[in-house]
Amino acid sequence: MGVHEECGVLGVWAPEPVDVAHMAYRGLFALQHRGQESCGIVVNDDGVFVSHKDLGLVGESFSASTLKAMPRASMAIGHVRYGTTGASSRKNCQPIEVNHQKGRMAIAHNGNLSNASALRDALELEGAIFHTTSDTETIAYVVTRKRLTSSSIEEALSAAMGVLEGAYSLVLMSPRKLICARDRHGFRPLCYGRTDEGAYVIASESCALAAVGARFVRDVEPGEILVFGDGGPASRREHCRTKEKRTCIFEHIYFARPDSVIDGVSVQDARLRAGRILAEEHPVSADIVVGVPDSGLAAALGYAQASGISYSIGLVKNGYVGRTFISPGQGSRVDKVSMKLAAVEQSVSGKSVVLVDDSIVRGTTCARIVRLLRDAGAKEVHMRVSAPPFLHPCHYGTDIDSRDNLIACRLPVEGIAVEIGADSLGYLPVSRLGELIGGQGFCSACFDGRYPTAVPDDVRRDRYERRFSEVDLEGR
């Protein structure tokens, strides 16, 4: 535990005006696990954009009266945010809306551009003035510039994709069109489905399609642009297969909801396989296997199935407390662990426990969980992790921007076990990651340092909000 998750995007196109705001609201609810800082919906009312954006959860930000005030329309896009670039503030809420001489545009995106700083610097030298600190505004600027010399908004987006590097799964809305696109490597997931009434729904994960009553059609391919209209989605494929596919493997390990299917691979099945691999690689004599809710549960079940050790509910989660890593400070994060999780004493007292979680970042959260089990009477706690050790920063949307706080960068496995208070510790081997998803192309740079793109010079999340004392102001 401890990795910040991604954002989630959603788009709705209907053949005639319907309550698209409420459809987007339901879809964003299903994507809430991908971002809990802020959320927003923009509705296209016959070319006029009506929006509502705010900090907080979807259910907190959108009241019944807010949704009722939004018009029936044929198009809408929505977003839930955890910002890996830019501060948590209203100015960074998405979707971002742009007005320019070629017409309005609204855009929402998931991922991080690896060349965002270089693009932003170049745009500022040409006179661009930025109002947010997120990568999404950079994408909007690039598309807008390309629109000035392009025959259509999709042509402008295609031209922009020629200069955008890194991760971006996005939905874009013009006065007349709803468009989605996935970066050429396919770092972040994106799919679409269709309702019985003929509406199309685009979403970061397939779980959101079911929430809106849409049947899954297919994943958007890496590099593909889809334009939705009366004749169905029109596909532009000039960027497809121009880069090697590199879907983030951590989507299957942790980010995505277990009922989602990404690029044809069930997230639940991938996590079960991870648990089985852990049992093969790191067997131990124990009484029960316990998973850390939520994303450690399937891997724990897989471990139990492969090892023959009984699976037990040893930790219960308070569903009203958000994910611990959303907390801005370490003290707050630790406090939330005790608020969020409790050990089931009847299950663990006097037992030797295999504890399965999805990752270890700083080590403080899992140390607290190990302590919860020991305080409940566990006589041994053997930690098993369904991912390899984090050793490198991520430049594509995961909130690991340096090696400074990664426990695996300063301690060997045995030392980490001592620090978190576990009797033993075992990680999923990097060499077996491909087995989780059937060997498809994937990105595992945060584990092995093999980056699919050039590494940016400045990867700090707060690079646009640093204090005077932290920067060199000479010449400014």
Cα(109)–Cα(94) distance, integer angstroms: 8
Q: What ranges make up the beta strands (E) of 239-340?
A: 247-248, 261-262, 265-266, 288-291, 310-311, 315-317
Q: Which of 7, 93, 191, 394 is catalytic?
A: 7
Cα(113)–Cα(121) distance, integer angstroms: 14
Contacts of 101 (CB under 8 A, 6+ apart): 148
Beta pairing class for 310-311 and 288-291: parallel
446 is catalytic: no
Beta bridge partners of 218: 192
- Other Cβ atoms less than 10 A from the Cβ of 450: the count is 11
Secondary structure, 3-state, 402-445: CCCCCHHHCCCHHHHHHHHCCCEEEECCHHHHHHHCCCCCEECH
* For the chain, counts of helices (H) and of strands (E): 15, 24
Q: Distances from the Cα of 317 to the Cαs of 295, 333, 347, in angstroms?
A: 12, 15, 15
Cα(452)–Cα(57) distance, integer angstroms: 33
Cα(17)–Cα(166) distance, integer angstroms: 35
Cα(96)–Cα(34) distance, integer angstroms: 18
Cα(222)–Cα(263) distance, integer angstroms: 10
Pair of tokens at residue 464? 């646009």
Residues involved in catalysis: 7
